[in-house]
Amino acid sequence: MQSSMEKSFPLHECHVNKVTIIINRTHAILHSIAILLLIHYRLSFFFQHPQNITIPTLPWLLIFVSELILSFAWFLQQACRWRPVYRTVFPERLAADDKLPAIDVFICTADPNKEPSVEVMNTVISAMALDYPPENLHVYISDDAGSDATLRCTKEAWNFAKYWVPFRRKYGLVTACPDVYFSSSENDNGDYKGSEFKAERKKMEEKYEVLKQRLRKIVEGHFPTNVAINNTRDHPSVIEVINKEEDEVKIPQLIYVSREKRPSHNHNFKAGALNVLLRVSAMISNSPYILALDCDMYCNDPTSARKAMCFYCDSQTPSLAFVQFPQTFRNISQDDIYDNQVRFAFKVHWYGFDGVGGPIISDYMSLKRLFGPSNDFIKTLVEDYKPCFIKDGESSRMSLENANILASCSYENQTVWGSKVGFLYFSVAEDYFTGLNLHRKGWKSVYLNPERLQFLGTSTTNFNDSLIQWTRWTSGPVTVALSRFCPLIYGPLKMSLVQLLCYSELAFMPLLNCLSLWGFAVIPQLCLFNGIPLYPKVSDPNFNIFSIILVSSISKSLYEVVTTGEQFKVWRNEWRIWMMRSVTSYTYGCLDVILNKLGMKEATFLPTNKVTDDEQVKLYEMGVFDFRTATMFLAPLVTVILINIAAFVGAVVKALVVDDDGDQYWEKMFGQMFLTFFILISNFAVIEGMIIRRDKAKIPLSSTLWSVVFSMFILLIGSVILC
């Protein structure tokens, strides 16, 4: 009877939006035709008779290359628009709680100075409060700093969770994170509104205030010296199971893990920490599934684990590797000037990725050569192996000893951890590279974005942290793009064409954007400054080609913004921050990869700063840029704006004052003048921060002066070379 019901009522459904597919594919075909006409126009220049060529060849070639690069980037983006799918799950149709598989939750923290303990512990508590059988839920917190303060905070979080988890279950609260629950204006009282609930809620809120005070005191009392900072790179492994055997309240198991780190060993950043958690958890809980969370990404929907299980418990998806939820943030302002919500990725890109399948997985080789010398760990690889950690005290002690060995910095020596097993180390973007290899081996994944946001985190609220974060996000995929693992050569015959192009777009996007944007932001402007036309006259029929491509690109991006529920200002902000990132974060991220490939620089990983500054948050919420960032970021950005100002002002003066036939000049140079004006008006915030604003967050005078020198140098050298 149960099996027939399972067949009649599926656990999940996949929906294909045919209207969206038709619009996307029609636009792709029409836009491709326009690009081909542009290529024909540019190429015909080189086949003219030398006597008819009045424009220097070099600038024409450079702008043509920039157009080809941007066109290739556009072509790769069409893969994620080819067949977007949307999914619905039915967790109420899952089997009984005692039949649900176990889950290990992995939470990684790396720097207590940049990741506030109150936020980290809220993530831990929310994970423990998931609507899932407590005996089948185990929460692991990885402390890569080896901080005693984090261990003590974890114990405090567990003490609070003993009261919070039963309270949330008893009253059916839909908010699992205590900080959000007590600070939210929404009425989340479950099914209760009586005096008993109000009294318990008040007591719980008082306990939470005590918890916050204790966490802050622990952190404040721990960091006056430099001891903890030194220990982040040199400390032994520490593994501690926080739960006590005599606990009467049934709550999930909480385990603190700090792997051994020594200056002489490569710790492989976050991927290394996750692989240690894989091995340690195998000795303690050995759950078949894991839920990986950032330390500030709390569980917003207690049913998220059950929703993921709707795919894993379905016999129709046996080769499913992972379920991906969107990464959303709770501190996004109405005017999201830094595009922190990353709308394109989570509301467009992943839906297209989800429409792609793959073949089967490959076999294992010798277990010890793969997984290391631990016999106890090898035992955990057997299906349905259950550690005897909780039942037997002596076994528990021995399991912890073995787990400490698995967390040592030398355990992975002479094994293939990080290259064939676990999270892969080749790139600092371990999620991208591991996902690429899983899909290449035939595993599948799904993207689930329910109406209620499943996980919420804290985004950056200032320009500096945003640019640093995107520089790091850039270097990971570009490292893969410029290697033997490049999807274009690593994926064929192993992946479908659409999936291959999706991964290629992610890998090459920063490199293609920075190269093309530097071309469009400098080459036409230098030619405009020197009176060299690069685009057809307005009266020339070929001018329509460029007009169509521009209107097509803007219309399609604006359509996607509107259909994903956003407003016009989101489109404006995305366009502006794309240009800003291209000449800053993407450029430095790509340069970092190139220097690393040449052996001139080692790969680095800088955790995103999660500590909020009230003044910076206020500016962000007002929609005002905070330009208090390094000159290395401001200099290229301001230099580009100054070059565009000089070119546009010079062209206007020449058309109105110098040139006798102003109308002909306007017609000849309109394309470049429009492009220059569009860049300036889109980035007016930079001009405002450089010239108009007088507050502390304006662009420093020193950065402006350096940019003036750079822009004059580029104008001078560019005029000599291009003319």
Catalytic site positions: 144, 431
Three-state DSSP string of 371-400: HCCCHHHHHHCCCCCCCCCCCCHHHHHHHH
In the numeric block, which tokens belong to residue 693? Answer: 């604003």
Which residue carries 């274009």 as its tokens?
488
Determine whether 668 is exposed, middle or buried from the number of CB atoms within 10 Å of its CB (0-12, 13-18, 19+).
buried
CA 264 to chain centre: 30
* DSSP at 234: S
Which residue carries 């078949």 as its tokens?
288
**Does 104 carry a binding-site annotation?**
no
Torsion sign over Cα 664, 666, 670, 676: positive
Contact indicator for 582, 682 with CB cutoff of 8 Å: no
Nearest to 396 by CA among 245, 497, 211: 245
Nearest to 307 by CA among 285, 324, 327, 330: 324
Consecutive H or E run containing 615: helix 614-622
Nearest to 123 by CA among 291, 309, 270, 341: 291
- The pairs formed by 489-494 with CB atoms below 8 angstroms and a separation of 24 or more are 490/436, 490/440, 491/436, 491/440, 494/359, 494/440, 494/441
Nearest to 699 by CA among 574, 580, 569: 580
Consecutive H or E run containing 249: none
Q: Which residues is 286 bridged to in the sheet?
A: none
Task: Look up residue 28 and give its amino acid.
Answer: A
**Does 294 carry a binding-site annotation?**
yes
**Does 144 carry a binding-site annotation?**
yes
* Backbone phi and psi for residue 118, each to the nearest 5 degrees, phi listed first: -60, -40
Three-state DSSP string of 107-169: EEECCCCCCCHHHHHHHHHHHHCCCCCHHHEEEEEEECCCCHHHHHHHHHHHHHHHHHHHHHH
In the numeric block, which tokens belong to residue 581? Answer: 């990132």
Which residue carries 């967390």 as its tokens?
407
In the numeric block, which tokens belong to residue 378? Answer: 């090898």
Separation between Cα atoms, residue 38 and residue 35, nearest integer Å: 5
Which residue carries 């400098």 as its tokens?
522
**Does 114 carry a binding-site annotation?**
yes
Annotated binding site: 114-115, 144, 270, 294
Annotated binding site for UDP-alpha-D-glucose: 114-115, 144
Annotated binding site for Mn(2+): 270, 294
